[in-house]
Structure 1
Protein backbone atom coordinates (compact mmCIF):
# COMPACT_ATOMS: atom_id res chain seq x y z
CA UNK A 1 0.00 0.00 0.00
CA UNK A 2 3.02 2.25 0.38
CA UNK A 3 3.88 2.44 -3.31
CA UNK A 4 0.55 3.95 -4.43
CA UNK A 5 0.90 7.31 -6.16
CA UNK A 6 -0.76 10.44 -4.80
CA UNK A 7 -2.85 10.60 -7.97
CA UNK A 8 -4.21 7.07 -7.51
CA UNK A 9 -4.90 7.80 -3.83
CA UNK A 10 -6.92 10.91 -4.74
CA UNK A 11 -8.79 9.06 -7.51
CA UNK A 12 -9.58 6.24 -5.08
CA UNK A 13 -10.95 8.60 -2.44
CA UNK A 14 -13.03 10.35 -5.12
CA UNK A 15 -14.30 7.02 -6.49
CA UNK A 16 -15.52 5.96 -3.05
CA UNK A 17 -17.04 9.37 -2.29
CA UNK A 18 -18.87 9.33 -5.63
CA UNK A 19 -20.34 5.85 -5.24
CA UNK A 20 -21.28 6.60 -1.62
CA UNK A 21 -23.10 9.77 -2.70
CA UNK A 22 -24.94 7.89 -5.47
CA UNK A 23 -25.84 5.06 -3.10
CA UNK A 24 -27.12 7.44 -0.43
CA UNK A 25 -29.34 9.15 -3.02
CA UNK A 26 -30.61 5.79 -4.29
CA UNK A 27 -31.30 4.67 -0.73
CA UNK A 28 -33.32 7.82 -0.01
CA UNK A 29 -35.35 7.32 -3.19
CA UNK A 30 -35.95 3.64 -2.44
CA UNK A 31 -36.97 4.34 1.14
CA UNK A 32 -39.39 7.02 -0.05
CA UNK A 33 -41.01 4.49 -2.39
CA UNK A 34 -41.16 1.85 0.33
CA UNK A 35 -38.75 -0.46 -1.51
CA UNK A 36 -36.63 -3.07 0.24
CA UNK A 37 -33.28 -1.42 1.01
CA UNK A 38 -31.48 -4.33 2.71
CA UNK A 39 -28.98 -4.95 -0.10
CA UNK A 40 -28.22 -1.28 -0.60
CA UNK A 41 -27.82 -0.77 3.17
CA UNK A 42 -25.28 -3.61 3.20
CA UNK A 43 -23.39 -2.19 0.21
CA UNK A 44 -23.38 1.31 1.66
CA UNK A 45 -21.90 0.06 4.93
CA UNK A 46 -19.19 -1.76 2.96
CA UNK A 47 -18.47 1.43 1.02
CA UNK A 48 -18.11 3.45 4.22
CA UNK A 49 -15.74 0.81 5.60
CA UNK A 50 -13.74 0.68 2.35
CA UNK A 51 -13.24 4.43 2.41
CA UNK A 52 -12.29 4.28 6.10
CA UNK A 53 -9.69 1.59 5.34
CA UNK A 54 -8.05 3.76 2.68
CA UNK A 55 -8.03 6.69 5.11
CA UNK A 56 -6.53 4.44 7.79
CA UNK A 57 -3.85 3.11 5.44
CA UNK A 58 -2.87 6.38 3.78
CA UNK A 59 -3.83 9.14 6.22
CA UNK A 60 -3.38 7.10 9.42
CA UNK A 61 -6.95 7.89 10.47
CA UNK A 62 -8.27 5.59 13.18
CA UNK A 63 -11.37 3.51 12.51
CA UNK A 64 -13.92 1.86 14.76
CA UNK A 65 -14.70 -1.24 12.70
CA UNK A 66 -14.36 -4.77 14.04
CA UNK A 67 -12.71 -7.65 12.24
CA UNK A 68 -16.21 -9.02 11.52
CA UNK A 69 -17.16 -5.68 9.92
CA UNK A 70 -14.02 -5.81 7.77
CA UNK A 71 -14.70 -9.39 6.73
CA UNK A 72 -18.28 -8.57 5.71
CA UNK A 73 -17.24 -5.40 3.86
CA UNK A 74 -14.51 -7.31 2.03
CA UNK A 75 -17.06 -9.92 0.97
CA UNK A 76 -19.49 -7.26 -0.29
CA UNK A 77 -16.84 -5.27 -2.19
CA UNK A 78 -15.30 -8.33 -3.85
CA UNK A 79 -18.82 -9.44 -4.77
CA UNK A 80 -19.17 -6.25 -6.81
CA UNK A 81 -16.12 -6.97 -9.00
CA UNK A 82 -17.93 -9.19 -11.55
CA UNK A 83 -20.62 -6.53 -12.03
CA UNK A 84 -18.05 -3.75 -12.41
CA UNK A 85 -15.94 -5.81 -14.82
CA UNK A 86 -19.02 -6.55 -16.92
CA UNK A 87 -19.87 -2.84 -17.02
CA UNK A 88 -16.26 -2.03 -17.91
CA UNK A 89 -16.36 -4.49 -20.80
CA UNK A 90 -19.47 -2.83 -22.21
CA UNK A 91 -18.02 0.70 -21.97
CA UNK A 92 -16.38 2.38 -24.92
CA UNK A 93 -12.59 2.66 -24.81
CA UNK A 94 -11.56 6.11 -23.56
CA UNK A 95 -15.08 7.09 -22.46
CA UNK A 96 -15.66 8.87 -19.15
CA UNK A 97 -17.82 5.91 -18.08
CA UNK A 98 -14.96 3.44 -18.65
CA UNK A 99 -12.53 5.68 -16.75
CA UNK A 100 -14.97 5.96 -13.84
CA UNK A 101 -15.45 2.20 -13.66
CA UNK A 102 -11.69 1.53 -13.90
CA UNK A 103 -11.05 3.94 -11.03
CA UNK A 104 -13.83 2.37 -8.97
CA UNK A 105 -12.38 -1.11 -9.51
CA UNK A 106 -8.90 0.10 -8.52
CA UNK A 107 -10.28 1.84 -5.42
CA UNK A 108 -12.16 -1.29 -4.34
CA UNK A 109 -9.07 -3.45 -4.92
CA UNK A 110 -6.96 -1.10 -2.79
CA UNK A 111 -9.58 -1.02 -0.03
CA UNK A 112 -9.71 -4.82 0.04
CA UNK A 113 -5.91 -4.91 0.18
CA UNK A 114 -5.95 -2.44 3.08
CA UNK A 115 -8.51 -4.60 4.90
CA UNK A 116 -6.41 -7.71 4.37
CA UNK A 117 -3.28 -5.99 5.68
CA UNK A 118 -5.09 -4.60 8.69
CA UNK A 119 -6.55 -7.99 9.63
CA UNK A 120 -3.19 -9.72 9.07
CA UNK A 121 -1.37 -7.18 11.25
CA UNK A 122 -3.93 -7.44 14.05
CA UNK A 123 -3.43 -11.21 14.41
Structure 2
Protein backbone atom coordinates (compact mmCIF):
# COMPACT_ATOMS: atom_id res chain seq x y z
CA UNK A 1 0.00 0.00 0.00
CA UNK A 2 1.18 3.50 -0.78
CA UNK A 3 2.53 5.73 1.96
CA UNK A 4 -0.35 7.61 3.52
CA UNK A 5 -0.01 10.37 6.08
CA UNK A 6 -1.41 9.82 9.55
CA UNK A 7 -3.95 12.56 8.87
CA UNK A 8 -5.19 10.81 5.71
CA UNK A 9 -5.31 7.52 7.59
CA UNK A 10 -7.45 9.06 10.32
CA UNK A 11 -9.71 10.81 7.80
CA UNK A 12 -10.17 7.59 5.82
CA UNK A 13 -11.05 5.53 8.89
CA UNK A 14 -13.44 8.26 10.06
CA UNK A 15 -15.02 8.37 6.59
CA UNK A 16 -15.75 4.65 6.75
CA UNK A 17 -17.05 4.89 10.32
CA UNK A 18 -19.37 7.72 9.32
CA UNK A 19 -20.68 5.82 6.29
CA UNK A 20 -21.24 2.74 8.45
CA UNK A 21 -23.21 4.72 11.05
CA UNK A 22 -25.39 6.31 8.36
CA UNK A 23 -25.95 2.97 6.66
CA UNK A 24 -26.83 1.24 9.93
CA UNK A 25 -29.38 3.99 10.66
CA UNK A 26 -30.82 3.69 7.15
CA UNK A 27 -31.03 -0.10 7.55
CA UNK A 28 -32.95 0.29 10.80
CA UNK A 29 -35.38 2.73 9.17
CA UNK A 30 -35.89 0.57 6.07
CA UNK A 31 -36.41 -2.55 8.19
CA UNK A 32 -39.02 -0.80 10.34
CA UNK A 33 -40.86 0.30 7.21
CA UNK A 34 -40.73 -3.21 5.75
CA UNK A 35 -38.71 -2.13 2.72
CA UNK A 36 -36.22 -4.28 0.85
CA UNK A 37 -32.81 -4.06 2.51
CA UNK A 38 -30.76 -6.44 0.36
CA UNK A 39 -28.72 -3.78 -1.45
CA UNK A 40 -28.11 -1.77 1.70
CA UNK A 41 -26.95 -4.87 3.58
CA UNK A 42 -24.53 -5.67 0.76
CA UNK A 43 -23.13 -2.12 0.84
CA UNK A 44 -22.93 -2.11 4.63
CA UNK A 45 -20.97 -5.35 4.57
CA UNK A 46 -18.59 -3.85 2.00
CA UNK A 47 -18.08 -0.87 4.31
CA UNK A 48 -17.26 -3.19 7.24
CA UNK A 49 -14.74 -5.03 5.08
CA UNK A 50 -13.22 -1.77 3.78
CA UNK A 51 -12.78 -0.45 7.31
CA UNK A 52 -11.22 -3.74 8.42
CA UNK A 53 -8.75 -3.58 5.52
CA UNK A 54 -7.65 -0.06 6.43
CA UNK A 55 -7.28 -1.01 10.10
CA UNK A 56 -5.31 -4.09 9.10
CA UNK A 57 -2.99 -2.09 6.85
CA UNK A 58 -2.34 0.75 9.30
CA UNK A 59 -3.06 -0.61 12.77
CA UNK A 60 -2.07 -4.26 12.26
CA UNK A 61 -5.55 -5.46 13.23
CA UNK A 62 -6.41 -8.95 12.06
CA UNK A 63 -9.38 -9.65 9.81
CA UNK A 64 -11.46 -12.78 9.25
CA UNK A 65 -12.55 -12.22 5.66
CA UNK A 66 -12.04 -14.76 2.88
CA UNK A 67 -10.72 -13.89 -0.57
CA UNK A 68 -14.26 -14.28 -1.90
CA UNK A 69 -15.65 -11.82 0.66
CA UNK A 70 -12.84 -9.37 -0.15
CA UNK A 71 -13.55 -9.66 -3.87
CA UNK A 72 -17.27 -9.05 -3.37
CA UNK A 73 -16.66 -6.07 -1.08
CA UNK A 74 -14.12 -4.69 -3.55
CA UNK A 75 -16.66 -4.89 -6.38
CA UNK A 76 -19.33 -3.18 -4.29
CA UNK A 77 -16.98 -0.33 -3.33
CA UNK A 78 -15.81 0.10 -6.92
CA UNK A 79 -19.46 0.14 -8.00
CA UNK A 80 -20.07 3.12 -5.70
CA UNK A 81 -17.30 5.25 -7.25
CA UNK A 82 -19.42 6.64 -10.12
CA UNK A 83 -22.15 7.96 -7.81
CA UNK A 84 -19.60 9.43 -5.39
CA UNK A 85 -17.72 11.10 -8.23
CA UNK A 86 -20.96 12.37 -9.77
CA UNK A 87 -21.99 13.92 -6.44
CA UNK A 88 -18.50 15.34 -6.02
CA UNK A 89 -18.61 16.98 -9.45
CA UNK A 90 -22.03 18.50 -8.73
CA UNK A 91 -21.11 19.90 -5.30
CA UNK A 92 -20.01 23.49 -4.88
CA UNK A 93 -16.30 24.27 -4.73
CA UNK A 94 -14.89 24.51 -1.20
CA UNK A 95 -18.15 23.27 0.31
CA UNK A 96 -18.14 20.88 3.28
CA UNK A 97 -19.98 18.37 1.07
CA UNK A 98 -17.17 18.44 -1.50
CA UNK A 99 -14.57 17.88 1.24
CA UNK A 100 -16.59 14.98 2.67
CA UNK A 101 -16.96 13.37 -0.75
CA UNK A 102 -13.25 13.81 -1.53
CA UNK A 103 -12.38 12.03 1.73
CA UNK A 104 -14.85 9.23 1.02
CA UNK A 105 -13.47 8.70 -2.47
CA UNK A 106 -9.92 8.61 -1.11
CA UNK A 107 -10.96 6.19 1.65
CA UNK A 108 -12.58 3.87 -0.91
CA UNK A 109 -9.48 4.00 -3.12
CA UNK A 110 -7.24 3.12 -0.19
CA UNK A 111 -9.53 0.30 0.97
CA UNK A 112 -9.61 -1.20 -2.53
CA UNK A 113 -5.81 -0.95 -2.67
CA UNK A 114 -5.54 -2.71 0.72
CA UNK A 115 -7.87 -5.46 -0.52
CA UNK A 116 -5.74 -5.87 -3.64
CA UNK A 117 -2.62 -6.15 -1.48
CA UNK A 118 -4.18 -8.88 0.66
CA UNK A 119 -5.37 -10.89 -2.34
CA UNK A 120 -1.88 -10.72 -3.95
CA UNK A 121 -0.24 -12.29 -0.90
Does the TM-score normalized on the shorter chain lie above 0.5?
A: yes
2:50 maps to 50
State the SS of the aligned residue for 1:98. helix
- Superposition deviation, residue 53 in structure 1: 0.2
CA distance in 2, matches of 1:39, 1:2: 31
In the TM superposition, what are the counterparts of 1:12-91 in structure 2 within 5 Å?
A: 12-91=12-91
CA distance in 2, matches of 1:11, 1:49: 17
1:109 maps to 109
2:11 maps to 11
Return 5+ residue gaps in structure 2 as ranges.
none
CA distance in 1, matches of 2:94, 2:62: 37
State the SS of the aligned residue for 1:62. coil
- Superposition deviation, residue 2 in structure 1: 4.8
State the SS of the aligned residue for 1:93. coil
CA distance in 1, matches of 2:55, 2:82: 25
- Superposition deviation, residue 3 in structure 1: 1.1
- Superposition deviation, residue 67 in structure 1: 0.3
Tell me the matched-pair count: 121
State the SS of the aligned residue for 1:75. helix
Residue deviations 1:62-108 (CA, integer Å, cap 9, x gap):
00000000000000000000000000011001000000000000000
State the SS of the aligned residue for 1:50. helix
CA distance in 2, matches of 1:100, 1:111: 16
CA RMSD in angstroms, aligned pairs only: 0.6
